[in-house]
Amino acid sequence: MGECLRVRESGWGETVMGSLRYTVCQEVVENRTAARTKAIGETDVKSLVERAAGGDIESFGELYGIYLDRIYRYVFYQVNNKTTAEDLTEEIFLKAWEGIGKFKWKGPPFLAWLYRIARNHIIDYFRTSRQQQPLDEELVGDDDNPEQEAGDKQTQRMLSRAIFSLPEQQRQIILLKFIDGLENCEIARILKKSQGAIRITQMRALDTLRRRLNKEMGNAN
């Protein structure tokens, strides 16, 4: 998928390694989450989904383990609170259990279906919640290198704040495409938009995010 450069080493806004080599990474080499996610084929997921739909809780537990990180991440960037993200993630999977019998394998991919449940649940959450949450400082970093961990957390915080401040649709695109690596067609199914609309929003989202990140960097300095 191309060499993924450690942008965080050079800092935001600087040219990396003296040349314009930017690659959108689908999987970051040193991404701990990627290392944890099981490499699992579509056939395996289909089998697990079918068994879970038949009432097999253990199979659903396997699906939970496979998709937990992505759903949690998706939720966290929208609520910016660790405890709330944990609660909502569990609730989303419970809703998925309730609806898994109706999931048709010929329809959207399972992950896209999960994202849709997650998105609707978060919409409901904000509708019933009184206000948006304050930024949670408890970001996870389990690096052995304390200096790198501190740097990672700073980058995570900056990015969290910037994403959190985006308008809703732009935030969805950033999360689904650039954080979770989904394709435009999958995003279009989740958000119920055309692919043309996805392209336009994607551009606006990156532009807005760029300005917000510049502001975050300015505040940090």
Of 71-100, binders to other proteins (CB under 8 A) are 72-73, 76-77, 81-83, 85-87, 89-91, 93-94, 97
CB 186 within 8 A of CB 70: no
CB 43 → other proteins: shortest distance, Å? 23
Nearer to other proteins, 106 or 202 (CB): 202
Minimum gap (Å) between residue 13 Cβ and other proteins = 8
The Cα–Cα gap between 200 and 208 comes to: 12
Q: Under the criterion CB under 8 A, does residue 7 sit at the interface with other proteins?
A: yes
Residue with tokens 């394709």: 183
- Interface with other proteins (CB under 8 A), residue total 75
Q: What angle do CA 193, 158, 156 make, to 5 degrees?
A: 85
Taking CB under 8 A as the criterion, which residues in 151-210 touch other proteins? Answer: 152, 155-156, 159-160, 174, 178-179, 181, 184, 199-200, 202-203, 206-207, 209-210
CB atoms within 10 A of CB 48: 21
Of 41-49, 57-65, 106-114, 186-194, the window that binds other proteins (rule: CB under 8 A) is 57-65
Alpha carbon distance 171, 75 (integer Å): 11
**Residue pair 163/178 in contact by the 8 Å Cβ criterion:** no
